[in-house]
Amino acid sequence: MQLIDGKEIATTIQNELAQEVATMLADGARPPHLAAILVGNDGGSVTYVNAKVKACERIGYRSTLVRLEDTITQDELIEQVNRLNNDPEIDGFIVQLPLPKHINEHAIIEAIAPAKDVDGFHPVNVGRMALNLPCYLPATPYGIMQLIQRCGIDTAGKHAVVIGRSHIVGSPMSILLARNTKGANCTVTLCHSRTQNLEAHTRTADIVVVALGKPKFLKAHMIKEGAVVIDVGTTRVDAPGTKLGFKLHGDVDFDEVAPKTNWITPVPGGVGPMTITGLLQNTMLAAKKAKY
Ligand code: GUN
d(CA 154, CA 147): 12
* Cβ contacts of 159 within 8 Å, gap of 6 or more: 186, 187, 188, 189, 204, 205, 206, 207
| Closest by CA position to 162, among listed 113, 93, 211 | 211
**CATH code of the region 27-113:** 3.40.50.10860
Residue nearest to atom 2 of ligand 1 (CA): 97
d(CA 32, CA 52): 14
Predicted pLDDT of residue 291: 87
Mean pLDDT of 30-54: 96
Q: Tell me: cis bond preceding 268? Omega within 30 of 0 counts.
A: yes
Could you tell me which residues are beta bridge partners of residue 210?
A: 163, 231
Predicted pLDDT of residue 173: 98
Q: Could you tell me if 255 and 214 are in contact, meaning their C-beta atoms sit under 8 angstroms apart? A: no
Q: Which CATH class is domain 139-272?
A: alpha beta
Whether 291 is catalytic is: no
pLDDT higher than threshold 90 for residue 292: no
Whether 154 is catalytic is: no
Check if 51 has its Cβ closer than 6 Å to any atom of ligand 1.
no
Quick one: which H or E segment has residue 227?
Answer: strand 227-231
pLDDT higher than threshold 90 for residue 266: yes
Residues in the chain: 292
Whether 119 is catalytic is: yes
pLDDT in tens, 95-133: 999 999 999 999 999 999 999 999 999 999 999 999 999
- Could you tell me the CA-to-CA distances from 177 to 44, 94, 133, 239, 264 in Å, in that order? 28, 24, 15, 35, 17
pLDDT in tens, 126-158: 999 999 999 999 999 999 999 999 999 999 999
Helices (H) and strands (E) in the chain, counts: 10, 11
Check if 95 has its Cβ closer than 6 Å to any atom of ligand 1.
yes
Predicted pLDDT of residue 54: 96
Quick one: which H or E segment has residue 255?
Answer: helix 254-257
| Closest by CA position to 292, among listed 89, 112, 84, 114 | 114
Mean pLDDT of 257-284: 98
Could you tell me which residues are beta bridge partners of residue 131?
A: none
Ligand 1 atom, smallest distance to 140 CA: 6
pLDDT in tens, 153-209: 999 999 999 999 999 999 999 999 999 999 999 999 999 999 999 999 999 999 999
Ligand 1 atom, smallest distance to 98 CA: 1
d(CA 245, CA 262): 33
Q: Tell me: cis bond preceding 172? Omega within 30 of 0 counts.
A: no
First to last CA, the chain: 41
Instruction: Evaluate whether 27-113 and 139-272 have a shared fold.
Output: yes
Domain boundaries, the chain: 27-113, 139-272
Rounded to the nearest whole angstrom, what is the distance from the C-alpha of residue 28 to the centroid of ligand 1?
Answer: 32
pLDDT higher than threshold 90 for residue 90: yes
Q: Could you tell me if 146 and 274 are in contact, meaning their C-beta atoms sit under 8 angstroms apart? A: yes
Residue nearest to atom 7 of ligand 1 (CA): 96
Mutation test of ligand 1: which of 47, 96, 116, 236 has the most ligand atoms closer than 8 Å to its C-beta? 96
Backbone angles phi, psi at 289, to 5 degrees: 50, 40
Predicted pLDDT of residue 77: 98
Task: State the helix-helix crossing angle for 271-287 and 6-26, rounded to 10 degrees.
Answer: 20
Ligand 1 atom, smallest distance to 36 CA: 9
Residue nearest to atom 3 of ligand 1 (CA): 97
